[in-house]
Structure 1
Amino acid sequence: MSDNIDEFFEAALSLVKTAGNLITEYREGCKLFELKSSDIDLVTEIDKKVEETLINGLSNKFPDHKFIGEETVSDGGKCELTDDPTWVIDPVDGTMNFVHGFPHSCISVGLMINKVGVAGIVYNPILQQLFTAKKGQGAYLNGKPIHVSQMTELKKALITFETGTSRDEERYKAMLENFQLIVNKGHGVRSLGSAALNMCMVALGGADAYFEFGIHAWDIAAGAVIVREAGGVCIDPAGGPLDVLSRRVLAAGTTELAQELAQTLVQFYPERD
């Protein structure tokens, strides 16, 4: 199977690099967009074109593979995870950033087999950041190995998290309470506007942890592989195992920090994918 994963990974990587050219054409912003679930949940034609490029290219090479794509699901497709090789795709993670020309958006492609993440690619073509990982083979930024930090204490930790793309009042209340908790108890807070890139910052050791409620499988499937292969942990924000369909995630450089955060956070449980 490892030989097959290498083949799958190389095919996806080539397509991701090609699709990245669609994003770099709009490095100063993409002003044509539509609204999805709320006035801060956006989609552009580039999101759709990138996803089409990836799914069509992978389907042609691997016709028995399955797909969970953000825009496909938004248009009424199923979000169904089976044991079959399944590509979990966010064509532009950080669409709000992309629309405004803020240079932190990326293509996120995760491969799951038997419901386990085995490969991840996160590519920010504007800043030329290519994060990659295959199960058991480590994590890399532009071909160089990366590793998580060894921070174990929240009081010394730099935490990334997001306000999200939902106006849901209950989720918003939990988000604001958690922001206050982290500001008071942690070393600092950062927000890149992209779940995948936040997770890659944890893998890189630049951030010590990241959490979010309300994300989707396509936001985190690739990042979870990259964080784990960089030596970190990805769990449910309440402390249990990660379920990529739960719309909840906590990534950290160490188990100790992850569990301290899990015990600190105000919890919110969105509707599952």
Structure 2
Amino acid sequence: MCEVNNLDECYKVAEELVLYAGKIIEDGIDTKKNVKSKGIDWDLVTEYDRKIENKLIKQLSARFPSHKFIGEETAAKEGRLPQLTDDPTWIIDPIDGTTNFVHRFPQTCISLALWVNKEAEIGIIYNPLMRQFFSARKHCGAFLNGKPIKTSDVRDVSQSLVAMEPWIAKNPEYLTSIYSRMHALIQGTHGIRSLGTAALTLCYVAMGAVEAYHIESIDAWDVAAGKLIIEEAGGVVIDTAGGELDIMTPRVIAACNQQIAQQLVDLFKEADSEIVNKNFN
């Protein structure tokens, strides 16, 4: 059993398993894949997603039989999202950036987090194709390939590079807000970047490559590890409206510091209100 006071063992096992899963991605990147859609045309899954998640759950269950799991492919198969309890819970995204993986675009990763008492204790995100191994433990700092990382020290959103996922506008529910917020970012920042993987982009905030990241229409496994990595690197992850993030229904503003986060909250509120005003006029 991995108790809170025995996280060293949990981390060691998690690291070994994620590195092993990375080899599966490396071996599979250039192969022909069995690609299916999980109901919507941009939410893809391959046999590699299932293989990695099954492997992680099987091995972690063998080592820590009392632990619980929240996994992307398991949730899809069961048709429901498990509740997050105080019990030690591994939150797994076997391949974040599956569409990238299918197209052989090298921004794809494994995300694994351990949450205890509804707080993140371990976060690991690994892009085997770029040899980027991001890790964090609560109160111990954040690392890339074993070297400490920290967020950008930029304090003005106008001097920021911000990441976003415009393709989410394919979902009619988000179409208007995506375009209005994207327009606001184009006008008010140094630029926008899009990687097609939430977990890895959160790490890019943590390492200071971008100042912020905004995304909605995602799930716990997209954010569970990255949230800890950003916070341990000196950044913040909050709800789009400015409050505390609900990890089970995440609407994300991740930023290098609270100042940038609040400026984005204000920017998006203004962009959203302009839409409302246009609709009523």
TM-score (norm 2): 0.92
Kept in 2: contact 1:51–1:91 (CA 8 A): yes
What corresponds to 1:271 in structure 2? none
Name the CA shift for 1:126/1:244 in 2 (closer, same or farther; >3 Å): same
Q: 1:262 Cα shift?
A: 0.8
8 Å contact from structure 2 (residues 166, 182) kept in 1: no
- Contact kept, 8 Å, 1:29 with 1:98, in 2: the verdict is no
Q: CA deviation at 1:158?
A: 0.4
Question: Does 2:143 align with 1:140?
Answer: yes
Displacement of 1:188 in angstroms is 0.7
Deviation at 1:169, TM superposition (A): 0.9
Q: Provide the alpha-carbon RMSD of the alignment.
A: 1.4
Which residue type is aligned with residue 205 of structure 2?
V
- Which residue number in structure 1 is paired with residue 41 of structure 2? 39
Q: Check whether the contact 1:29–1:102 (CA below 8 A) recurs between aligned residues.
A: no
Say which one has the larger Rg.
2
1:93-146 deviation line (CA, Å, top 9, x unaligned)? 000000000000000001111101111000001111100000000000000000
Find the aligned partners of 1:50 and 1:94 in 2 and give their Cα distance.
14
Q: After superposition, what is the alpha-carbon deviation per residue over 1:155-206, rounded to whole angstroms, capped at 9, x for unaligned?
A: 0000011135573212122111111110111111001110011100000000
Change (3 A) 1:188 1:29: farther
User: For residues 165 and 105 of structure 1, what CA distance do their matches in structure 2 show?
Assistant: 17
2:155 is paired with a residue of what secondary structure? coil
Asked whether the equivalents of residues 158 and 189 of structure 2 are also in contact (C-alpha less than 8 Å), the reply is yes
> Following the alignment from structure 2 to structure 1, what is the Cα–Cα distance between the partners of residues 229 and 92?
15
Q: 1:4 is matched with which residue?
A: 6
Deviates more, 1:47-56 or 1:1-10: 1-10
Map 1:5-154 → 2, pairs under 5 A: 5-28=7-30, 30-76=32-78, 77-154=80-157
* % identity of equivalent residues: 46
Structure 2 CA distance for partners of 1:188 and 1:135, relative to 1, 3 Å? same
Tell me the distance in 2 between the aligned counterparts of 1:141 and 1:39. Answer: 33
Equivalent residue, structure 2, for 1:247: 250
**Aligned residue identity for 2:154:** M
Aligned-partner SS, 2:112: strand
1:52-104 deviation per Cα after TM superposition (whole angstroms, max 9, x unaligned): 01111100000110100000000115421000001110000000000000000
Letter in 1 for 2:155: T
Say whether the 8 Å CA contact 2:169–2:176 is kept in structure 1.
no
* Aligned equivalents of 1:151, 1:30: Cα separation in 2: 43
Partners in 1 of 2:249 and 2:228 — Cα distance? 17
Shift, 1:153, TM fit:
1.0
Please say if residues 119 and 225 of structure 1, whose CA atoms lie closer than 8 Å, have aligned partners that are also in contact: yes
Note if contact 2:162-2:213 (Cα within 8 Å) is conserved in structure 1: yes
Note the residue ranges of structure 2 that are not aligned, 5 or more in a row.
273-281
SS in 1 for 2:215: strand
The structure 2 residue matched to 1:167, chosen from 161, 167, 170, is 170
Aligned equivalents of 2:250 and 2:19: distance in 1? 27
Q: Indicate conservation of the 8 Å contact 2:216/2:251, yes or no.
A: yes
Q: Which amino acid aligns with 1:55?
A: I
User: Equivalents in 1 of 2:251, 2:81: separation in Å?
Assistant: 19
- Which of structure 1's runs of 4+ aligned residues deviate more than 6 A? none
Contact kept? 1:232, 1:254, Cα under 8 Å: yes
SS in 1 for 2:92: strand
Q: Which residue of 2 aligns with 1:182?
A: 185
The whole-number CA distance in structure 2 between the counterparts of 1:165 and 1:239 is 21
Task: Classify 1:183/1:244 alpha carbon distance in 2 versus 1 (closer, same or farther; 3 Å).
Answer: same
Higher alpha-carbon deviation: 153-162 or 170-179: 170-179
